Amino acid sequence: MRTFDFTPLYRSAIGFDRLAQLFDDAQRDAQPSYPPYNIELVGEDQYRITMAVAGFDRSEIDIETERDTLKITGRKQAEQAARNFLHRGIASRNFEHTFQLADHVHVVGAKLDNGLLNIELKREIPEALKPRKIAIDGDVPGNVQVLEQKAA
């Protein structure tokens, strides 16, 4: 596998350090594969992360968001009695998954049902950033009056 050195980008570009960091993180295969998860597009600007967390209780799972990062952590409580397994196929180890969220994507809710953790996400673009239609040579006296009132 090829690796690229983004160091020249760090020292010559201002404001693109987050983009370079995303490229660095994407190159590494350090993302854990446990527990398995799906990311699906539910509707326009609506997403769902489904994570298989069999054996985990609600109290053992933490979901945090900070700016553009979603972090899901599972910490198994220590088992009281030592169990003697003949075969152990269900993993019950601790995990931590971190997802980078795009701008204006927020966690709407989370639900644990039948061993599946469903996290609902939605992209909510603020009104100021939504595209607006501008009339060309349009006669819009209402807007002119509002602007004149604000100026006075």
Query: What's the pTM?
Result: 0.65
pLDDT digits (tens, 9 = 90+) for 32-69: 678 899 999 998 889 999 999 988 889 999 999 998 88
Domain co-membership, 22 together with 53:
no
Decide: 63 and 119 in contact? Cβ < 8 Å: yes
Structural domain range at position 98: 34-127
Percent of the chain with pLDDT over 90: 28
Decide: 110 and 119 in contact? Cβ < 8 Å: yes
**How many domains, the chain?**
2
What is the residue type of 95? Answer: F
Domain co-membership, 51 together with 2:
no
